[in-house]
Amino acid sequence: MSETVQLIPGDSLITATPQEGRELAIKMARLIIKVTQPDAEIRGKLRGVYAEDPAMLIAVGQTVAIEFATIAAANNYWR
């Protein structure tokens, strides 16, 4: 991993709304895949695979759910 890759947009877990927190969770999950597979062309090809594979789509959902749990706690659940 190049240390200069931005892994968290804005370098903060704090967001104004739950919606933005959810968007951040999706981005953070994708950025891990990006640093693990830096080749954009390969990632594009793999994306075509998992976007049509129900088991992988469910696994994507689990990953986002875990990231979101952290973000939600960071924001005191936007209470």
CB 37 within 8 A of CB 49: no
Residue 41 touches a second copy, criterion: CB under 8 A = no
Does 49 bind a second copy (CB under 8 A)? Our answer is yes
Residue 54 binds a second copy (CB under 8 A)? yes
Instruction: Name the token pair of 67.
Output: 């990231």
Contact positions vs a second copy (CB under 8 A)? 1, 3, 6-8, 11-14, 17-19, 22-23, 26, 28-29, 32-33, 35-37, 42, 46-47, 49-70, 72-74, 77-79
